Structure 1
Amino acid sequence: MPPPQPDVLADALIRVPRHTFIPAQGWAVPQGSGTPPAAASGYWIDQHRDPDRWWRAVYSDTVIVTQLDGGRTELTPANAAAPSSAPSCAASSPLLVTAGLRHLAPRPGNRVLDIGTGTGWTSGLCAYLTGDDALVTTVEIDPDLARTAAGNLARCGLRPAIVTGDAASELPSSDGESDGLFDRVHVTCGVTDIPYVWVEHTRPGGHIVLPYNPPVGRLLRLTVHEDGSATGRFGEECSYMPLRSERQPQRPDEGATRTDTPPRVRSLDSASDSDTESLLHPAPGLQVLLAALVGDEPWTGASGSVLLTDGVSRAVVENGGRLTQTGPRDLWDEAESVHRAWIRRGRPGLDRIGFTVTPQRQYVWVDDPAVPAVRALDETPDARPAVGASLG
């Protein structure tokens, strides 16, 4: 099914204007920083004190944070800028919102489930694109956010069904349909472990669009099949706040101690040195595989060292190629193994890499949706997979 025509989406953006869903005060983070809102450079907007700046932020490709720490921390300029504060609601980047809706492809008459109501903007856009707000149900875990979203939507003349609850464990049925299924499921929070209940509530042939959210997220469009599985491919890189049940502290600082396991130290050879650069700037296909099979991708710390961590195990490559690994896993060795396997398979890009969800498991794959990447990339096919076993 082709996506909505650009003029239809453009009309939706006019008819359901973003400014209706933005509070008078917020923390604006320009898109493209590549880091979550709290860690990125941002600035305070106040509609009453500086209306021009507020309007420029609202109608630019800017994330606008509207809540911190589930409402436990007051939204102020100082708190929003503090690394210890975690954004828990934001008006997403307009470009990403538009990209997600293109992948979702809602049509007039479709029944749509919107997971993560937030400010209510995407629920309103879905309501407009389906032609009837009664066709849209949106789920929000935070009662305060649900009430605010209802008011925002009402100002646009829209009243989709708003359900307060945890969409990761239980979902409402689609009203007015005997099977209670949805044609489209639109998710606005980052997810690593996709709840199968989302597949169960989607009609065969229907689509689920979500931000797949290991360390570097990507939009993922799944199509649900008659056998109860769902398969799909990755799209644009994105950064969304995680599903609340999956929220964890941000990456530890590079000096943090996570384990008492004795360190394993060695020097990287010249071949590994070249891998360090490739791993630091992975191609999109390699990036997805590292996130899925290793759980992280290398990143540069403040000291210039290269780090890789899963929160317990840790690998640090210092200037000069000295590698130190601690914890139960040798993360750097795992990342190099994935890199070598990716090269052997012809450096597959996103056109060859996808994701499968079944009632029993979910996994990233290369070329064949029935074969987990952990098996397809294993250097010794008959051996037990050394990395990413939980995905296979």
Structure 2
Amino acid sequence: MSSHALDKDLDDLAATVRAALVREIDASGAWAADPVWREVFAAVPRHLFVPYYYVGVVGGYERRWGESPDPRARERWMAGAYADMPLATRLRDGELLSSSSQPSLMAMMLVALGVEDGNRVLEIGAGTGYNAALLAHRLGDDDLVTTVDLEPEITEAARQHLAAAGYHPVVVTGDGARGVPERAPFDRIIATCALPSVPHAWLAQCRPGARILTPLGTGLVALTVRNAGQAEGRFLHTPAYFVPLRGGTGLEPEPAPLGGVPRRAREHELFRFLLALSLGSLDPQEVYGMWEREGHPERERYGVTVSGEREWAWLDDPEGPYVWALPG
């Protein structure tokens, strides 16, 4: 079979598996509140952003590659590129440095971000560039989208992937915790890496009424910005696990010993969320007491407030009784 015929077979497979992914996300209800994202995911080719990725196998990782000389290996790569799962895209000494997030989670986050026509959007964590491409396609204007990452090799690869797909948002190499002041003000900020608290620099780069969506602990918090020093919002219902932000201003606290906390709590996903959110502020035994008294609260009952130099998390009410400081 000629290489042209092989390419056509791969293009046909790309169209088939992309359509299947869109149907799968559709069935999950992820974009029910903003169906325009269905057209966006149907249009943007994810496989151009993951020319290779790694899948876990016994004893480590196996590389899947779109340029493999084996046609069956290329088909496996293409099918995996449109699976509704996160893909490991960069490893160093066996440690995951960067990944392409699960598409249905990306869809849910983009809907929760509440993007509107004309919004200026900052993405923290460029990854493969796929999320920036989705935003650029949705907004129809590359200049409205800025994406930042600390690692030059990540930003350079993201820029190449974006160009291959026909998108040219602004890609910046820098510390995401500092934002991108020269591209401000922003109407929306979305982070695709985990942080211990919300950087104050982001608020200062937002217009009043802007929305910030960021992973915190093992959840996603959606904040409304009042002004350069004030923001508040609650967590979404979904769990979210992201690679930590590299750079930033400080180290996360060491996990505290869990002596005295029953095993059923330690293994409960909602307790682990609260434990991660209160790390460095509350003793695990205090956390367990609150969690039991309040009936194992769902994520939506928790929120975060930023006011001047202070930043705190809370259960039910920003004024208490359950409040605790987040690392500054």
TM-score relative to the length of structure 2 = 0.78
**Counterpart among 259, 263, 280 of residue 266 in structure 2:** 280
Kindly state the Cα deviation for residue 343 of structure 1 after the two structures are TM-superposed. Answer: 3.1
Tell me whether 1:237 sits opposite 2:264 in the alignment. Answer: no
Cα distance, 1:12–1:359 mapped onto 2, change above 3 Å: same
* Structure 1 segment 1-392 matched on structure 2, within 5 A: 5-23=33-51, 25-28=52-55, 43-47=62-66, 48=68, 49=70, 50-69=73-92, 85-174=94-183, 180-213=184-217, 217-226=218-227, 228-235=229-236, 236-245=238-247, 276-282=262-268, 284=270, 286-294=271-279, 334-371=283-320, 373-374=322-323
TM-score relative to the length of structure 1 = 0.66
User: Quick one: which amino acid aligns to residue 83 of structure 2?
Assistant: S
1:295 & 1:43 partners in 2: Cα distance? 37
Kindly state the Cα deviation for residue 227 of structure 1 after the two structures are TM-superposed. Answer: 6.8
- Paired positions, count: 290
Gaps of 5+ in 2: 1-30
- Superposed CA deviations along residues 165-189 of structure 1, whole A, max 9, x for unmatched, are 1121352333xxxxx4111001111
Q: For the pair shown, which has the larger CA radius of gyration, 1 or 2?
A: 1
- Superposed CA deviations along residues 114-171 of structure 1, whole A, max 9, x for unmatched, are 1111211111111111221111111121222212111111122211111211121352
Native 8 Å contact 1:203 1:224 kept in 2: yes
Kindly state the Cα deviation for residue 43 of structure 1 after the two structures are TM-superposed. Answer: 4.3
1:283 & 1:240 partners in 2: Cα distance? 16
Native 8 Å contact 2:54 2:61 kept in 1: yes
SS at the partner of 1:362? strand
- Superposed CA deviations along residues 242-281 of structure 1, whole A, max 9, x for unmatched, are 00026979x99xxxxx9xxxx9xxxx9xxx6xx5133123
Q: C-alpha root-mean-square deviation of aligned residues, in Å?
A: 3.2
Cα distance, 1:163–1:92 mapped onto 2, change above 3 Å: same
Native 8 Å contact 2:197 2:327 kept in 1: no
Gaps of 5+ in 1: 30-37, 74-84, 175-179, 253-257, 297-330, 375-387
2:58 & 2:314 partners in 1: Cα distance? 31
Native 8 Å contact 2:127 2:154 kept in 1: yes
Q: Tell me the percent identity.
A: 34
* Higher relative helix content: 2
2:114 & 2:35 partners in 1: Cα distance? 13
Native 8 Å contact 1:363 1:372 kept in 2: no
Determine the structure 1 residue equivalent to 2:17: none
Native 8 Å contact 2:64 2:77 kept in 1: yes
2:58 & 2:122 partners in 1: Cα distance? 31
